[in-house]
Amino acid sequence: MIVMKFGGTSVANFEAITRTIFIIGGKLDQKPVVVVSALSKVTDLLYRISDTAASSNAAEMETLLAQLRERHVNLAAELLEQSPMLKEEAVAEVNRICDSLDSLARAVCAVGELSDRNKAIIISNGELLSSTVICFAMNAKGIRTGFIDARTMMVTNDSYLKGEPVVDEILARVPGTVAQAYEGKDAVITQGFIASNLNGEQTVLGRGGSDYSASLIGLAVDAEKIEIWTDVDGVRSADPRKVANTKYLEKISFEEAAEMAHFGAKVLHPLTIEPAVKKNIPIYVLNSTNPSGKGTAILRNELIEDGVKSVSFKENIRVINIFSMRMINTSGFLRRVFEIFSESKVSVDLISTSEANISVTVDASEKIDSVVEQLSEFAEVIVDDDKSQVSVIGKNIVKLNGMLKRTFAPLKKCNVYMISQGASFVNISFVVDREELTEVVQSLHHHLFETPEELETF
Ligand code: ADP
Ligand code: ASP
Ligand code: MG
């Protein structure tokens, strides 16, 4: 069995879905479990629908709801042109899902208040709609496809918008559900991103979470491999939207991929690697617009060579500087500080400490008001906004001779605020001003990947 996950751009429209079904059709002998995201930009649209509902902006909300329905009805009609009976059924199903969304959105709009629970229900509709339409289209193409509602088998805790998987429950439910859906079929399809809690209430895994769903399902069915189909030829040495001449990476280790994703490379959800690692299941990142390409293989550490693989970045972060003379020669100070972060559910990326100072970085989207307030009770706290975090990633780079010199040589002119190295052997990270980010990333990438070491002039 294999898991094949198709992201938004791979299921964006008629052409993309036709290509995707062709790719799946070529792999039926490997028993695919297909995991799909919402059509490209649909989750964004659903977020806007929830915002307009929450602010009681009925006119705009109705326009957006109509757009969503029209896009899916038209797509179903186009894909099922040749199969009038299936077309009628698919359009009816799309309308049924949209009717139920409309009623919820209107109810929310009437009171002007949106709970996380209702928001999760609203934003889940993208995956429900895409998987429904694609399932009909696969059957119309002669691939007998079983449909699985992911909410029956993917279980998370009660965090509605960023559910944390209850892995034991997922492992208990997925194999039986998949086996049952497979009876008499050539393939099965389910949704990424969406799940439910133990009470059966709907939850989602957080933005970009379909990769994570695919990996959890791969673990549960003991998949031979997990394929992440997207719109680039695999993982590259940097984000191709930011840096020219990025290098294609034929293979990287689980650890390198996890660090890249965690430190900003948007090609994979940061937690995708974690389930796969447990059973050493290889992950392939592949391009659905170029299916004959080799893609990137993400494999166990021992199969990968040492060396620099990537320059990743997080564009918008904050540095929180915590200063207290009380830190000197006292035990328990760090514990107290990090308990506050943990209780407020604020996730910390980099940490560096000196005698009386702790600096940490957090994503700019984290809500830090309560952390700052609590820390200020016993320390001086200064928050620096508009910073970016840059990470050089590669197996054992921390042990490579002259690596720090190579990393910082191209940054002669800019301020570097924090440096973190050594926590893992695969990552050197530092913080710069946000306005300098593009230049820093580009010159660092050029220096590390396009300048032969012997030509470096330092
Ligand atoms: P999907 O909708 O398939 O999940 P995403 O947009 O989430 O696709 O991820 C693919 C995008 O990730 C690519 O289009 C690319 O711009 C971006 N990206 C960021 N960093 C990298 C990287 N290091 N290698 C490849 N792609 C990257
Ligand atoms: N559709 C969801 C999102 O846009 C999940 C995903 O695509 O992975 O965030
Ligand atoms: Mg993605």
**Judgement on whether residues 222 and 323 belong to the same structural domain of the protein:** no
Provide the residue type at 279 as one letter.
K
**Judgement on whether residues 124 and 14 belong to the same structural domain of the protein:** yes
**Judgement on whether residues 120 and 227 belong to the same structural domain of the protein:** yes
236: in domain: no
What is the CA 424 to chain-centroid distance, rounded?
Answer: 22
What is the CA 103 to chain-centroid distance, rounded?
Answer: 30
CATH number, domain containing residue 105 = 3.40.1160.10
Nearest ligand 2 atom to the CA of 206 is 9
Round to whole Å and give the CA distance between 205 and 11: 20
Look at residue 324 in the predicted model and tell me its pLDDT: 85
**Judgement on whether residues 169 and 318 belong to the same structural domain of the protein:** no
**Judgement on whether residues 76 and 166 belong to the same structural domain of the protein:** yes
**Judgement on whether residues 215 and 315 belong to the same structural domain of the protein:** no
**Judgement on whether residues 85 and 178 belong to the same structural domain of the protein:** yes
CATH number, domain containing residue 445 = 3.30.2130.10
Average pLDDT over residues 115-137: 98
**Judgement on whether residues 30 and 143 belong to the same structural domain of the protein:** yes
Question: At residue 422, does pLDDT exceed 70?
Answer: no
pLDDT digits (tens, 9 = 90+) for 303-358: 999 999 999 999 999 999 999 887 666 677 888 899 999 999 899 999 988 878 89
Nearest ligand 2 atom to the CA of 211 is 8
209: in domain: yes
Query: Could you tell me which of 105, 132, 107, 112 has the C-alpha nearest to residue 47?
Result: 105
Average pLDDT over residues 373-400: 93
* CA nearest ligand 1 atom 11, residue: 267
Provide the residue type at 216 as one letter.
L
Task: Answer whether 433 contacts ligand 1 (Cβ < 6 A).
Answer: no
Model confidence band, residue 292 (pLDDT cutoffs 50, 70, 90): very high
Domain end (from 205, 231, 257): 231
| CA distances to 39, 145, 148, 300, 344 from 25, in Å | 20, 11, 18, 29, 47
How many domains does the chain fold into?
2
Question: At residue 211, does pLDDT exceed 70?
Answer: yes
Model confidence band, residue 452 (pLDDT cutoffs 50, 70, 90): low
Strands 187-191 and 427-433: unpaired
Nearest ligand 1 atom to the CA of 9 is 2
Please tell me the distance between residue 257's alpha carbon and the centre of ligand 1 in angstroms. Answer: 13
* pLDDT above 90 as % of the chain: 86
- DSSP conformational letter for 236: B
298: in domain: no
N-terminal to C-terminal alpha carbon distance within the chain: 52
- In this prediction the pTM is 0.93
347: in domain: yes
Query: Could you tell me which of 211, 210, 161 has the C-alpha nearest to residue 50?
Result: 161
Q: Would you call 393 helix, strand, or coil by DSSP?
A: strand
- DSSP conformational letter for 453: G
268: in domain: no
What range defines the domain where residue 422 resides? 309-457
153: in domain: yes
Cα Rg of the chain (Å, integer): 24
Domain end (from 173, 201, 231): 231
Model confidence band, residue 455 (pLDDT cutoffs 50, 70, 90): very low
Average pLDDT over residues 282-298: 97
10: in domain: yes
Ligand 1: which of 4, 262, 267, 298 to mutate, most ligand atoms within 8 Å of CB?
267
In the predicted model, what is the mean pLDDT of the chain?
94
Ligand 1: which of 266, 271, 449 to mutate, most ligand atoms within 8 Å of CB?
266
pLDDT digits (tens, 9 = 90+) for 65-106: 999 999 999 999 999 999 999 999 999 999 999 999 999 999
**Judgement on whether residues 221 and 362 belong to the same structural domain of the protein:** no
Contact 126, 42 (CB under 8 A): yes
Nearest ligand 2 atom to the CA of 44 is 4
Please tell me the distance between residue 7's alpha carbon and the centre of ligand 3 in angstroms. Answer: 6
Contact 48, 105 (CB under 8 A): no
286: in domain: no
Model confidence band, residue 457 (pLDDT cutoffs 50, 70, 90): very low
**Judgement on whether residues 327 and 425 belong to the same structural domain of the protein:** yes
HSE of 120 in the Cβ direction (CA atoms, 13 Å)? 23
Round to whole Å and give the CA distance between 264 and 166: 25
pLDDT digits (tens, 9 = 90+) for 212-235: 999 999 999 999 999 999 999 999
Domain end (from 231, 266, 288): 231
Model confidence band, residue 282 (pLDDT cutoffs 50, 70, 90): very high
User: Residues lining ligand 2, CB < 6 A?
Assistant: 7-8, 37-38, 43, 126, 192-193, 207-210
